[in-house]
C-alpha cells in the first residue's frame, strides 16, 4: 500500500504541473478583434452604412406602403406585397426594423462611450447626431421604448421602457450636447466620415435639421400642453439663427457594382451585378393615388418609370421604380433630403415658430426635390400648381400643401416620413385603404416585435393587431 501513496502523490504532481493555466490559455480568438479594440474611426463606417441600409430598405419601404405611395405590380406577382396589402400586423411584421435599428444604433452608443485618452469629440458628435436621427424613428414607429437603459449588453438584459415624449426631449438635448462636443482639436476622421467627409459645419447643419424635425413633430402635441410648449418654444428660439442642410445628406462607403457592395436600395429594388432585375423591383410600382396626385408633374417619370399605377391589394400591371430614384449601383445613398429641410422650415414658419417666409421655403423645397430627381427647373410646375387645393401654397391650405409636397418629394427615399407625417397631420388628404380592406383606417404604428416578447416580456407593452389601428404615437393628436 506504500506504493499507492507514492502513485497518488505522483498523479497530483502531474496534474499540478499541467494545470498551470498556460495549457488552457488558448481561448483568445485569432480570427476576430474585439469590439472594444476598435477606435471610433474604425467603427463609424460600418455603423453609418448598416443603419442607412435598414433605413432605406425597411423603414423606407413600410412607410411608402402605409402612406399609399407604393403599390404592387399584380401582373408580375399575383400576391405582390401580400402581408402589407392585408395589413398583417403582428409581432413578426417588420420586426427587423426594431431589431436592426437598435443593433446598429448601439454602435453609435459604443462610440459615445469610447475612452482611450485621445480627443474623439468630432466622432462622438457625429455618433450622437446619427443616434438621434435613427432613434427618432424607433419612437415614431413604436412609441415608448427602452432608451435610458438601452445599449448595456449583458449588464442590463431587461431594459425598462421610457416614455416616448421623454425620449424625444432627451434626443433634443443630446443633439445640443453633440454640437458642443465638436472641437477643432479632435482626432481627424481620416476617410471614415462617409457622410460629410469630416466637414463639421455640415454636421452642425444636419444636427440642427434633425432637431428641427423633432420639434416640428412636437408642435401639435405641445399646443395642448403648456409645459411642453414652453420647452418647444425655447428650443425653436435657439434655431432661429441656426443653419440647416441645403444639400441632400447622403452616404457612400464605396458602393460598387459587385456582389454585396451595391448601393443597398439598388441591391434590393434594382439589378444584380449580372444585370438581372430583382423580384422586389419587379413587384414594386406606384399606387393609383400617387399617379393621380402627380398627374402632369415632371417628377412622375423620374420617381417611377411610367404613369401606370395600381390600387393596393388590387390587380393589373404597374410601372416600375424610375431612374430619379435608382441612380446606379454605386450611387450615393440619401438619408435626408434638402427638400425635407425646406419643408420643415416652411411648416415651422407657417405655424409661427420660426421667423422667415414660408412660401419661399416651400418653393425651395419643391426645387430641391426637382434637383434631387434631375427634373430641372421647378418654377413652371410651382406656378401651375400654385392654386391647386392639394399641391399649391396658395390653394387655400398652405400646411396641407407643404406636407403633400413633402410626401411627393420624399417618396421612395424617406418613406417613413410620408406615413408618420400623414398620421401627425392627416395629409395628403383622402389616402385610400387597400381594396377589400375591412380595417377602420390606415395603421398608426408598428407593433412591438417578437424579440421583446421573448427577451423582455416583463417590460414590453402587450399588444394585439387592433393596436396597429388605434394606439397612436404620442404626437398623433390629429
Partner 1 sequence: MKTKFTRILILFMVFVVQLSFAQQKTVTGTVTETSGMPLPGASVIIKGTSTGTSTDFDGKFTIDAKIGQFLVFSYVGYSTQEVEITSTLLNVVLNEDAESLDEVVVTAIGIKRKPDEITTANQVVKSEELNQASNPDAVQALAGKVSGLQINTTSAGLTPNTQITLRGNRSISGNNAALIVIDNIVSSAEVLSTLDPNTIESMNVIKGANGAALYGELGAAGVIIVTTKKGVKSLDKFSVNVISSATVEEIAYLPETQDRFGQGWGGNIESVDQGSWGVPYNGILIPIGTPDSEGNFRYFPYSHIEDNILPFFNKGINLQNSVSISGGNLDSGYITLSFLNQSLKGIIPDSRLTKNNFSLTTGKKLGKFSVQGIARYTSQKTNDVNSIDVDNKNEDNTYPGISMYQRLMNTAGNIPVQAFSSGDNNDHWTIYEDSPYWTLKNDRRYGNRSILDLSAEFMYEINENINTVLRSSIRSTQNNDEINRNGFQDTFFYVGGDRSIRSFYQIDNNDERFIYTDFLVNFDYNLNENITFKSNVGVNLTDRKFTREVNGGFDLAIPGLFQLSNITSLPDYWEENRRSRTQSMFAQLDFGYKDYLFLNITGRNDWNSVLPEANRTFFYPSVGVAFIPTKAIEGLKSDILHKAKLSASYVKTGNATALSPQQVPTVGLVDTFYPDSGLVSLIGQGSVVDQNVKNEFINSFEVNANLEFLNIQVPRITLDVSASISKNSDQILNISSSSATGFTNSLINVGETKSKSLEIDLGFTPIKTQDLELSGRVGFSTFNTKVEQVTDQSNRVEVANLGGTIGAYAVKGQEFPQLLGTAYERDDQGRVVVDSNGNPLINSELQVLGQATPDFILNFALNLNYKGIRLAAVADYRTGHQFYSGIKNQLSGQGRTYETTFNDRQPFIFPNSTVEGSGVNNTTVLTAAGSSGNDQALGEAYGYYTGDHNTIDENFVVDATAFKLREVSLSYDLPAKFIQQLKLSRFNIGVSGRNLLTILPRSNFDYNDPEFAGRYGLAGYGITPPTRYYALNVNLSF
Q: Which is nearer to partner 1, 315 or 376 (CB)?
A: 315
Written as one string, the DSSP assignment of 413-449 is TSHHHHHHHHHHH--STTPPPPTT---SSS--SPPPP
Q: Which is nearer to partner 1, 208 or 313 (CB)?
A: 313
CA dist 198 and 219 (Å) reads: 33
Smallest distance from partner 1 to CB 342, Å: 31
Q: Which is nearer to partner 1, 173 or 259 (CB)?
A: 259
Smallest distance from partner 1 to CB 456, Å: 4
Q: Which is nearer to partner 1, 393 or 448 (CB)?
A: 448
Place of cell 460629410: 196
Smallest distance from partner 1 to CB 153, Å: 5
Q: Are 96 and 155 in contact (CB under 8 A)?
A: no
Cα 191 to Cα 67, 195, 252, 253, 435: the distances in Å are 37, 10, 11, 10, 49
Q: Which is nearer to partner 1, 242 or 433 (CB)?
A: 433
CA dist 63 and 61 (Å) reads: 5
Q: Which is nearer to partner 1, 45 or 294 (CB)?
A: 45
Smallest distance from partner 1 to CB 10, Å: 6
Smallest distance from partner 1 to CB 309, Å: 14
Smallest distance from partner 1 to CB 297, Å: 27
CA dist 6 and 123 (Å) reads: 65
Q: Is 80 helix (H, G, I), strand (E, B) or coil?
A: coil
CA dist 308 and 374 (Å) reads: 21
Phi first, then psi: what are they for 333, rounded to 5°? -105, 115
Residues paired with residue 348 on neighbouring β-strands, in sequence order: none
Amino acid at each position: 500500500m506504500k506504493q499507492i501513496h507514492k502513485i497518488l502523490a505522483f498523479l497530483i504532481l502531474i496534474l499540478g504541473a499541467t494545470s498551470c493555466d498556460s495549457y488552457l490559455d488558448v481561448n483568445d480568438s485569432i480570427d476576430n478583434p474585439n469590439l472594444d479594440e476598435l477606435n471610433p474611426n474604425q467603427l463609424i463606417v460600418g455603423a453609418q452604412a448598416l443603419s442607412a441600409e435598414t433605413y432605406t430598405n425597411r423603414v423606407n419601404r413600410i412607410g411608402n406602403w402605409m402612406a399609399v405611395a407604393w403599390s404592387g405590380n399584380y401582373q408580375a406577382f399575383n400576391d405582390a406585397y401580400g402581408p402589407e396589402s392585408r395589413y398583417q400586423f403582428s409581432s413578426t411584421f417588420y420586426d427587423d426594423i426594431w431589431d436592426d435599428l437598435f443593433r446598429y444604433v448601439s454602435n453609435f452608443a459604443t462610440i459615445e462611450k469610447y475612452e482611450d485618452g485621445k480627443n474623439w469629440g468630432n466622432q462622438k458628435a457625429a455618433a450622437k447626431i446619427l443616434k438621434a436621427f435613427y432613434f427618432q424613428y424607433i419612437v415614431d414607429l413604436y412609441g415608448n421604448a427602452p432608451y435610458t437603459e438601452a445599449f448595456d449588453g449583458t449588464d442590463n438584459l431587461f431594459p425598462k421602457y421610457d416614455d416616448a415624449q421623454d425620449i424625444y426631449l432627451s434626443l433634443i438635448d443630446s443633439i445640443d450636447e453633440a454640437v458642443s462636443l465638436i472641437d477643432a482639436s479632435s482626432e481627424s476622421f481620416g476617410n471614415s466620415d462617409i457622410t460629410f467627409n469630416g466637414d463639421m459645419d455640415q454636421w452642425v447643419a444636419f444636427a440642427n435639421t434633425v432637431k428641427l424635425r423633432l420639434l416640428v413633430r412636437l408642435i401639435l402635441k405641445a399646443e395642448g400642453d403648456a409645459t411642453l410648449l414652453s420647452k418647444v418654444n425655447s428650443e425653436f428660439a435657439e434655431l432661429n439663427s441656426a443653419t440647416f442642410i441645403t444639400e441632400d445628406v447622403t452616404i457612400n462607403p464605396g458602393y460598387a457594382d459587385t456582389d454585396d457592395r451595391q448601393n443597398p436600395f439598388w441591391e434590393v429594388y434594382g439589378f444584380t451585378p449580372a444585370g438581372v432585375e430583382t423580384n422586389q423591383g419587379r413587384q414594386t410600382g406606384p399606387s393609383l393615388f400617387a399617379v393621380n396626385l402627380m398627374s402632369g408633374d415632371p417628377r412622375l417619370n423620374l420617381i417611377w418609370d411610367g404613369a401606370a399605377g395600381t390600387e393596393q391589394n388590387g390587380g393589373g400591371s404597374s410601372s416600375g421604380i424610375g431612374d430619379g430614384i435608382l441612380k446606379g449601383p454605386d450611387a450615393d445613398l440619401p438619408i435626408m433630403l434638402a427638400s425635407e429641410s425646406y419643408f420643415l422650415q416652411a411648416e415651422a414658419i407657417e405655424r409661427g415658430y420660426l421667423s422667415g417666409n414660408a412660401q419661399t421655403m416651400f418653393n425651395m423645397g419643391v426645387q430641391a426635390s426637382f434637383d434631387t430627381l434631375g427634373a430641372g427647373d421647378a418654377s413652371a410646375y410651382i406656378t401651375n400648381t400654385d392654386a391647386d387645393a392639394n399641391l399649391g401654397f396658395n390653394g387655400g391650405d398652405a400646411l396641407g400643401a407643404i406636407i403633400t409636397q413633402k410626401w411627393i418629394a420624399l417618396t421612395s427615399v424617406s418613406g417613413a416620413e410620408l406615413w408618420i407625417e400623414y398620421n401627425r397631420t392627416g395629409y395628403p388628404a383622402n389616402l385610400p385603404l387597400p381594396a377589400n380592406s375591412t380595417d377602420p383606417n390606415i395603421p398608426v404604428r408598428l407593433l412591438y416585435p417578437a424579440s421583446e416578447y421573448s427577451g423582455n416580456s416583463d417590460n414590453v407593452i402587450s399588444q394585439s393587431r387592433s393596436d396597429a389601428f388605434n394606439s397612436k404615437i404620442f404626437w398623433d393628436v390629429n
